[in-house]
Structure formats: structure tokens, C-alpha cells
Structure 1
Amino acid sequence: MSESQIITNEKLPNIHLPNIHPGEILKEDFLDEMNVSAYHLAKEINVPETRISEIIHGKRSITADTAIRFSKFFGTTAEFWLNLQNLYDLEEETNNHSLEFETIIPINIDDHKLIYR
């Protein structure tokens, strides 16, 4: 593999993009694109409209239950919605606790015998 094909963190510019809540993706890439209202989505997937509104406004996470309902309605997978939420949550935690996480010292595997049972 040529050097130009290898990408490492050292070669990437330090660009910080905003963390996008999955509700924003739901609103812009699904509801707006399909001309579907939050009210209509809520009725079709049998959830309170407040659940959809809170997700859209970033005040609520997408749960497994909601992910399954979205997947049935939009023809996606539940994993798609859960992955969006997980990526968002990981980025939030990384941003909010980065200094604390930097204090964690990795284990030296050579110094420890790992026992698998």
C-alpha cells in the first residue's frame, strides 16, 4: 500500500466539526426530504408527537424501540438509527470528559497474564 493510501491521525488536519444529533438528521434528511410532518410520523409509528419533537430538537435520544419504529416506517435498519445515536453520544462524552479520559493509563499487556475462560 502506498503512503498516499494510508491515513493516520497525524496526517489529518485538526478540524473540529459540530456533533450532529440524530434528530437533526431525522428532520433534514428524512422528514423534510419526504415532506412528512412530525405529527404524521408520530401517528404512523404509534408514539406521542412529543417523542418525535424532542428527538428533532436534540432533547431526547433514539431508543431501541424508536429505532425499530423508524426502520419500519423509513425502510432503513434499526441499527442505522442506533448507530447515529451511539456516535453522537460517544462524541459528546469525548468532548465533555476529554481531560479526564487523558489521565487513564493503558494497561501493559506484557505485564499481565490474561486468562480466558
Structure 2
Amino acid sequence: MSRDPNRCPTHPGELLREDGIPATGKSKAEISLLLGVSRQHLHDLLAERKPVSPEVAVRIAKLFGTAPLFWIRMQGAYDAWHASREVDVSAILTLSTVSGASTTA
């Protein structure tokens, strides 16, 4: 079964808020200390107001025993889905592959 392209991918903050942090039994303040980020930064991430940066992805991955790329890909899918709906690309042409054609830089 394929994924519904009209459904927004999950923000990594939602996964942390709904599953990750509750599973630890620790408070958000404790998690922010363990991650080395401010409570406000963690709050904004969990509220889906901030993205998971590569630096924070490395911290989350270490804390939860996952791979940084998991969190980065999750954020990338979320960002790309939103960008594809918000960015006007109507004036951009699609390049076609033409045999023998050359491009200049």
C-alpha cells in the first residue's frame, strides 16, 4: 500500500511529543537537559514550530538510540510536503533530455 500524497508527513516533534518522551517517563525539562537544548527550544520543537536541525537530530538520535538520518529524513519529508504546496513553480520550465544537447554553466 502506498502513502496518501495528500496527507502531510508527521513532524518529528509530534513523534517525540506523542511517543518518544512519554515512553521515557521523564519530564520535558529533564529531556531538554539531557539533549543540551533549552526548554523553550524543546517546547517549540514539540509544538511543531521549529524544525529538527541536523545538530538536534544528532542529539535526539543519541538519546533515543536511533540514527540521526531518521530524524533528518522525517523533517525533510515534512518540509518538502509543505514547500510543494506553498512555493509557486508555475513559471519554471521542466528540462527535457535531448540527445546531443549540451548545457553551459
Q: TM-score under structure 2 normalisation? A: 0.82
Residue matched to 1:80: 70
- Equivalent residues of 1:19, 1:92 under 8 A apart: no
Which amino acid letter does the alignment assign opposite residue 76 of structure 2? N
State whether structure 2 residue 12 is matched by structure 1 residue 22.
yes
Report the aligned-residue RMSD.
2.3
Structure 2: runs of 5 or more not aligned:
none
Q: Which residue of 2 aligns with 1:92?
A: 82
Moved more, 43-52 or 70-79: 43-52
Q: Which has the higher contact order (CA 8 A, sep 6+)?
A: 2
2:29 and 2:39 in contact (8 A); partners too: yes
Identity %: 21
Give the structure with the larger helix fraction: 1
State the one-letter code of the partner of 1:59.
R
State the 1:18 CA deviation.
Answer: 3.5
Give the counterpart of 1:101 among 79, 89, 93: 89
Aligned length, in residue pairs: 102
Asked if the contact 2:8–2:81 (Cα under 8 Å) also holds between the matched residues in 1, the reply is: no
Quote how far apart the aligned CAs of 1:96 are.
1.3
- Structure 1 equivalent of residue 41 of structure 2: 51
- If the length of structure 1 is used for normalisation, what is the TM-score? 0.74
Gaps of 5+ in 1: 1-6
- Report the structure number with the largest CA radius of gyration: 1
